Amino acid sequence: MSKDKMDLLQGTLDLLILKALKLGPMHGFGISVLIRQMSEDVLRVEQGSLYPALYRLERQGWISSEWGVSDNNRKAKFYKLTVAGRKQLVEETSNWEKLSRAINLIVRPA
């Protein structure tokens, strides 16, 4: 495990999952790998947080799931973004941008 691994900021996991699923339907393991890779191995999602978050997002109707076959021919549950999920992603992205801009303003004053 790399030293510069970071804990996720509270509330950002939903955004990351939605963002990952925007690339297409995928299963839980795929999501966790994708997040790790996209963040250049900095962000690691605990499975104890990932699955409850997936179930929560599904309940809120932002993602839906169906069983399919994985790359290596195994039965797997695939999650995909719903219409409502796309809207939510837009909203959360803009929220995040506002937040990171605000933090940057403080941390790196011009």
Partner 1 sequence: MKWRQQLLARFRSLFRKAELDSEMDAEMRLHIELQRQENIEGGMAPEQAHDAAVREFGWLESVKEICRDQRGVAWLDNLFQDVFFGLRMLRKAPAFTAVVILSMALGVGATTAIYSVVNTILLNPVPGTQPDRLMQIAEQNYTQGLFAKENNMPAFYGVSPPALEALGDAGDFFSDFAWFDSAGMERSAGDFTENEGGAWVSPNFFSLLRVQPLLGRTFARDELTPVDENRRPIGDSVIVLSYSWWQSLFGGDPYIIGKRIKLSGQHFTIIGVMPRRFQFPAGYTKFWVAAEPLRERPNFMTPANTRVLVRLKPGVTQQLTESRLQMLAQRLTQDHPVSKWGYGQEWARRPHGLGFWIRPLRFEFQGGYGSEDLRRTLFGLLGAIGFVLLIVCANIGNLTLARTEKRQQELGIRCALGAGRGRLMRQLLTENLLLACMGGLAGLVVTHWALKLLVLMIPSHMPRLKEVSVDWQALGFALLASLVSALIFGLAPAWRAGRAQLGEVLKQAGTATTVGVGRGVYRSGLVVTEIALALVLLTGAGLMIQSVVRLLHVDPGFDPQNLIYVNLQLPWKTYNDPEHDLQASGRRNVLYGQLHDRLASLPGVIAVGMGKHSVWPEKLKIESQGAVVELLRDGCGIGASDFFRAMRVPLHAGRYFDKRDIGAGADTAIINETMAQMCWPGESPIGKSFGGQSPYGVCKFQVVGVVDDLRDQRYDQSVKPIFYRPCHELRLEGLAPFIVIRTQTDPHALVSAIKKELKETEPAMEMPGIQVVRQVLYDSTQAQRTYMLYMAVFAIVGLLLSAIGIYGVLAYSVARRTREIGIRMAIGAQRRQVLGMVMGQGARLVAGGIAVGLLAAFWLTRLLKRQLFQVSPQDPIVFGGVVLVLFVVALLACLMPAIRATRVDPMTALRYE
- Please say which residue, 51 or 104, places its beta carbon nearer to partner 1: 51
21 vs 6, 31, 37, 98, CA distance in Å? 21, 8, 14, 22
* Cα 108 from chain centroid (whole Å): 27
Distance CA 1, CA 7 (A): 13
Tell me which amino acid residue 13 is: L
Residues 2-61 that bind partner 1 (CB under 8 A): 27-29, 32-33, 46-48, 51-52, 55-56, 59-61
Residues 62-91 that bind partner 1 (CB under 8 A): 67, 70, 72, 74-77, 84
Which residues here bind partner 1, judged by CB under 8 A?
A: 27-29, 32-33, 46-48, 51-52, 55-56, 59-61, 67, 70, 72, 74-77, 84
